[in-house]
Amino acid sequence: MNEFMEWLSQPWPWYVAGPLIGLTVPALLLIGNKTFGISSSLRHVCAICVPAGIPFFTYNWKKEAWNLMFVLGIGIGGFLAMSFLADPNEIVLADQTQSELAALGVTDFSGLMPADIFSWSNVFTLKGLLFFVLGGFMVGFGTRYAGGCTSGHAIMGLSNLQWPSLVATIFFMVGGFLMTQVFLEPLMRWVGF
């Protein structure tokens, strides 16, 4: 049993994890004619909690309860993985990545996310406003504007050969490249790194 837990707690290579994620799509389609996506669950929660007659939230959300259970399962799985399967070793980053982040003032790589940015002490600072509030708003707005999130478009939409998903995925990648190569350094300097 110890060997199995040790194997399970190690990072899985892309050639195992990737196909497992990819097989989720046909499994959902074959088992229940369902589509994979995470961002739509927020709409379902709003339809449950805010029955104000807003047309966007007026639909049969009970039909989509499976999606809420799926997202709940992701949350529970993440909690269990961090509580019982966490790798005690420091996250392995390439030396070049560490030196480039250190030049931006990010030096704490002890957790899954850099504590220099993502910590409770930063929530009510300019850093927190920029990275948590504004960044979160932009991700949420972009997700709804694009008609889905990266998992919905890049995993489900591309596998169904949907043209809008290809366009959305291309722009997700372009946005990521622009952020890391053009905007990240000036933003980090602006908030005081």
**What one-character-per-residue DSSP string does 26-50 give?**
HHHHHHHS----STHHHHHHHHHH-
Percent helix, strand, coil in the chain (nearest 5)?
70, 0, 30
CA angle centred on 149, ends 45 and 181, rounded to 5°: 135
So what's the pLDDT on residue 18?
85
Nearest to 27 by CA among 159, 169, 164: 159
Residues in Cβ contact with 26 at an 8 Å cutoff, skipping those fewer than 6 apart: 159
Cα–Cα distance, 5 to 28 (Å, whole number)? 28
Q: Read off the pLDDT of residues 121-166 as tens digits, 9 standing for 90 and up.
A: 888 888 888 888 888 888 888 888 888 888 888 888 888 889 999 9
Cα–Cα distance, 104 to 107 (Å, whole number)? 9
pTM of the model: 0.72
Residue 78, CB-side half-sphere exposure with 13 Å CA sphere? 7
> What is the chain's mean pLDDT, rounded?
85
Residue ranges, the chain, pLDDT below 50: none
So what's the pLDDT on residue 7?
77
| Domain definitions of the chain by residue range | 1-86, 93-193
So what's the pLDDT on residue 61?
83
So what's the pLDDT on residue 105?
86
So what's the pLDDT on residue 178?
95
So what's the pLDDT on residue 79?
92
So what's the pLDDT on residue 84?
82
